[in-house]
Structure 1
Amino acid sequence: MTATVKHEPRSRPRIGSHAFLMLLLAAFLAPVAWALVSAFKPAGDIVSSPLSFDPSAFTLDNYRAMFQDVPIGQGFANTAVVLVFKGAITMFFAPLAAYAFAKYRFVGQNLIFGAVLVTLMLPTIVLIIPLLLEMKALGWVNTYQALILPGAVDAFAIFWMRQVISAVPDELMDAARVDGCGEFGIFWRVIVPVIRPGLAGLGVLTIMNIYNDFVWPVVVASNERMATLQVVLSTLAQNITGNRIGADYATVTGELLAASSVALIPLLVLFILLQRHFINGIMAGSVKG
C-alpha cells in the first residue's frame, strides 16, 4: 500500500502587502532623507528650492557655521554622561526589582507591583513640580544628580523585565540552589544569561528614551553648561541669532538641519547595529508572566 504525500501549495508572495509596506517605509524615511540631504545644500537653496537635488552644489558651510554658533559638543557631552550613569542604574536595578516580583512571594507583593504600574499612568507633567521642588531642596538644580537620578529605575523597565523573567523555569533556580549558589548568584549566573535578549531590547529602549528626553532636562538644567543635546537643539535658533548678527531665516534653517542631522546619526547607527537584538528583546518582553 503506497502512502500518498500531499504537497502543500507554495505560498505566493503577497505583492500587495509588500507594496503597502514599502510605501509606508518611503513615507517615514522621506522627511529624514530630505533633512540629511538638505543639510549639505547652501542655506539659500534650502528655502528657495527645497526639493532640488544638485550634488555639485553640496557644501559643509551649514555644519561649519553650526559648530561655531551652537554649543552642540557640550550638549553631546552632557547627554553622554547622563546616558552612561542613568542607563547603568536602569539596567542594573530594574532587572533586580523585576526578579523579586517574578520569582519571590512576599507580603504585599501584588499591592507594591500595582503601585509601580500606577506610576506608568501618571503624566510626566504631573510629577515635574514635586520633583523640581525636591531637587531645589537638595540643592541639585543644574547638576548631573538631578539629570540622572529621577526616573533612573523606570516602572516600565521593571514591568518589561518581570515579563521576561517570569518565563524562566523555576527548575533552573532550584538546581542552582542545590549546587550551593546564593540568591544574588542565581540572578547573576542563571537568570541574566537566559534573559539577555530582553536585556538587549530594554537597553535599546533605555538609550533612546534618555537620548530623546527633553521635558525634564529643560526644567531642571536651565544653565547652558548643563544643557543636554535635546535642550541645545530646542534653543538652537536663539543661539544662532544671538551669536551672529543679521542671521536670516535661511541661515537658521540650514544650521538647524545640520544640527538635527548630527543628533540623528547616533540613533540611526545604534538601531542599525542592534536591530536584531532589539527585535529579539521585543519578542522576549511579549511573553506573558
Structure 2
Amino acid sequence: MRVLRLAPMTIVVNLLLIAGLVCMAAPFVWMLSTSLKGTKDIFRYPPQWIPKEPTLDNYIELFKTINIARPFLNTVITAISITALSLLVCSMAGYAFAKFQFFGKDALFMGILGTLMIPGQITMIPVFLLLKKLGLLNTYAGLILPGIASAFGIFFMRQFMVTLPDELLEAARIDGAKEFFIYSRIVLPLCKPVLATLGIMNFTGSWNNFLWPLIISTDESMYTLPVAIANLAGQHATQYGLQMAGSVVVIMPIIIFFMFAQQWFMEGIALTGMKG
C-alpha cells in the first residue's frame, strides 16, 4: 500500500490555510446560527453553534418590520448601474493608458494611482456638497455617480491591456477599423476574464456599501439593504436575532453570485497579477 508523504512545509502551509478558513468562516456561521435562535438561546452560556430548537421567527419578524422589497430594489439598481458604468469608464481609461501615447500620460497615470492612498472618507464631504448643489441628494444618480470610476479599476484594466499585442491593433487600423470598433470588437472580447473580475469586485462592493447610501439618502424610500438593516437597531435595546436575519438576507445573494462567478474571478486575477 502506497503511503502519501507530505513535506513538513506543505503540512504547515495547509494547517495555516485551514486556520485562516476557520477564522474567516466562523463569523458567517455564527451569524446564520444566531438568526435561527430565540432570544434566550442567543445569550445562553456556553454559546451554542448549532441551535437546539431552530426557528424562523426572526425572518418572519424581519419581513413584518421593514418593507424589504424597496431597499432590495434600490440595492439591485445601484449595484448593477455602478458595475456597468464602472466597467465602461475603467476599460476605456485603461485602454487609453495602455495603448495611446499623449502628453502627460505617465504623470496623469501616477496621479490617478496616488489617489489610492487617499481614504475615501476624506472625499465624502466635498462630493456630498457638490451633489447637494446639483440637487442629486436622495436620488439614484447621487447613489451611483460617485462610484462609476475608480483608480484601482483603471489600473486593473490597464495592467491587462498592456499585454495585448500592438500588432493586432495595428492590423485592424491598417484594414480601416476605427478606434471605437477596435475597442469594442477586439479589445473588450479579449478582456472578458478581467472585466468579469472587476465586475464582481464592483458589484459586491456596491451591494455591501453602507456609509455612502446612509449619507446621500435622506428618505427611507432610497435606503439600500445595508442601511435598512442597520435601522433595525433599537434606541434602548438591540434585537440581535433580527439583525442577524437581516444580515443573512443581505449577504446570501452575494455568496450565491460569487459561487457561480468565482472561476472568472480567479482567471482574471491570474491574468492581471504581476504583468505590466
| TM-score between the two structures when normalised by the length of structure 1 | 0.87
For residue 220 of structure 2, what is the aligned residue in structure 1? 224
Q: Is the 8 A contact 2:33 2:49 kept in 1?
A: no
Structure 2 residue 171 is the aligned partner of structure 1 residue 184: no
Could you say what secondary structure the match of 1:51 adopts? coil
Q: 2:240 aligns with which of 253, 265, 269?
A: 253
Structure 2 CA distance for partners of 1:278 and 1:11, relative to 1, 3 Å: farther
Please state how far the C-alpha of 1:193 moved relative to its aligned partner.
1.6
Check conservation: 1:71, 1:232, Cα contact below 8 A.
no
1:234 aligns with 2:216: no
**Deviation at residue 119 of structure 1 after TM alignment:** 2.1
Which residues of 2 match residues 127-146 of structure 1 at below 5 A? 127-146=123-142
> Which residues of structure 2 form unaligned runs of 5+?
none
2:36–2:51 CA contact under 8 A, matched in 1: no
5+ residue gaps, structure 1? 1-9, 242-246
Structure 1 residues 111 and 11, CA gap change in structure 2 (3 angstroms): farther
Per the TM alignment, residue 54 of structure 1 is displaced from its structure 2 partner at its CA by: 4.2
Distance in 2 of aligned mates of 1:147 and 1:114: 28
Q: What does residue 48 of structure 2 align with? A: 51
Separation (CA, whole Å) in 2 of partners of 1:12 and 1:175: 51
The equivalent of 1:278 in structure 2 is 265
Distance 2:93 2:49 in 1: 54
Q: In the TM superposition, what whole-angstrom CA distance separates every residue of 1:52-88 from its partner, at most 9, and x where no partner exists? A: 5345x21111100011113333221111111121111
Secondary structure of 1:222's match?
coil
What CA distance in whole angstroms lies between the structure 2 residues aligned with 1:20 and 1:124?
Answer: 32
Q: Secondary structure at the match of 1:150?
A: helix
Whether 1:174 and 2:161 are equivalent positions in the alignment is no
Deviation at 1:267, TM superposition (A): 1.4
Which one has the largest radius of gyration? 1
CA distance in structure 2 between the partners assigned to 1:17 and 1:130 by the alignment: 46
Q: Are residue 265 (structure 1) and residue 252 (structure 2) matched? A: yes
RMSD: 1.9
Classify 1:217/1:23 alpha carbon distance in 2 versus 1 (closer, same or farther; 3 Å): same
Structure 2 counterpart of 1:176, one-letter code: A
More moved, 174-183 vs 194-203: 174-183
Partner of residue 214, structure 1: 210
- Name the amino acid aligned to 2:98: A
**Number of aligned positions between the proteins:** 270
Q: 1:227 to 1:195 in 2, by over 3 A?
A: same
Q: Over residues 244-274 of structure 1, what are the superposed CA-to-partner deviations in whole Å (9 max), with x where a residue is unaligned?
A: xxx965xx11101110111110111122111
Partner of 2:33: 37
SS of residue paired to 2:24: helix
Shift, 1:151, TM fit: 2.8
2:50 counterpart letter in structure 1: F
1:237 aligned counterpart, secondary structure: coil
